[in-house]
Amino acid sequence: MAASRSHGGGRRTGRLGSPDLRRPAGRRRAALGTAVNNRKGWAVEDSVRVYEQLKAAGITVVSGLPDDWIVPLLTLIDNDSEITYIPVARESEAIGVCAGAWFGGARAAAAMGIAGLLASAHELVTLNLAHQIPLLVVASLRGGIDDQLTYQVGQGLVGKPYLDALGIPHITISDPAQLDQLPAAYTRALLLKRPFVTFLAKHLLITKGGPT
């Protein structure tokens, strides 16, 4: 979370080594993309757009545990001095972290794979729904036709019905032009006083060069 400086007084870097984000947006986009591409071989143009829309929503705290598709997004967030990224060992812990941030006056979002979302039912119901705590959840939409991993198929089939059963609203964003719905989704969470889940398609998080 915390940024560090080199012992020689060089430029500021985040924990994962990306360049300082206090620069014009165009230059920042290029620097962030290069940093993450070099790290894992991902192309992150659309991940940067997701990240920028979270910033536009005023999100200052992000907590989560990534699956492969979300790693580029969380790397960008982790290296932003204006957003506090709090990693967790279990996705359900991110729900509690974000609730605490909300009570402390911060705008928070949880980021995770769909498997982690399925594992967080208890916290979503007994914490957020019971106490009317708004929360934006950004989740990868696994198990679809673009996911080649057999064990993700079941999660993809039950993810949306699971949220419907809990009464948690959700949208699926598959077009980059729709990413401006992220701030609106957070506003909706505030209005409803409950979680709002935004599922993101694979190509909005990783493109050629990334994992399957």
**Residues 152-178: pLDDT tens digits?**
666 766 789 999 999 999 999 988 999
Residue numbers of the domain that contains 183: 25-204
- What average pLDDT score do residues 12-25 get? 40
As given in the structure block, the two tokens for residue 146 are: 């673009």
Q: pLDDT of 71-84, one tens digit each?
A: 999 999 999 999 99
pLDDT band at 16 (very low <50, low <70, confident <90, very high): very low
Q: Kindly state whether residue 32 falls inside one of the protein's structural domains.
A: yes
Q: Kindly state whether residue 134 falls inside one of the protein's structural domains.
A: yes
Q: Kindly state whether residue 162 falls inside one of the protein's structural domains.
A: yes
CA distance 153 to 92: 21
The H or E element spanning position 199 is strand 195-200
HEC states along 63-131? EEECCHHHHHHHHHHHCCCCCEEEECCCHHHHHHHHHHHHHCCCCEEEEEEHHHHHCCHHHHHHHHHHH
Say which CATH number the domain at 125 has. 3.40.50.970
pTM reported for the whole predicted model? 0.77
The H or E element spanning position 54 is helix 45-56
Q: Kindly state whether residue 14 falls inside one of the protein's structural domains.
A: no
Q: Kindly state whether residue 18 falls inside one of the protein's structural domains.
A: no
Q: Are 125 and 166 in contact, with CB atoms under 8 Å apart? A: yes
Q: pLDDT of 116-125, one tens digit each?
A: 999 999 999 9
- Say yes or no to pLDDT of 22 above 60: no
Q: Give the C-alpha distances (Å, rounded to integers) separating 138 from 61, 108, 199.
A: 13, 11, 6
As given in the structure block, the two tokens for residue 180 are: 């401006």
The H or E element spanning position 29 is helix 25-40
Q: Kindly state whether residue 15 falls inside one of the protein's structural domains.
A: no
pLDDT band at 144 (very low <50, low <70, confident <90, very high): low
Q: How many domains does the chain have?
A: 1
CA distance 109 to 117: 13
Q: At what angle do helices 25-40 and 71-78 cross, to 10 degrees?
A: 130
Q: Kindly state whether residue 63 falls inside one of the protein's structural domains.
A: yes
Residue with tokens 């934006």: 136
Q: What is the pLDDT of residue 141?
A: 83
Q: Kindly state whether residue 181 falls inside one of the protein's structural domains.
A: yes
Q: Are 112 and 197 in contact, with CB atoms under 8 Å apart? A: no
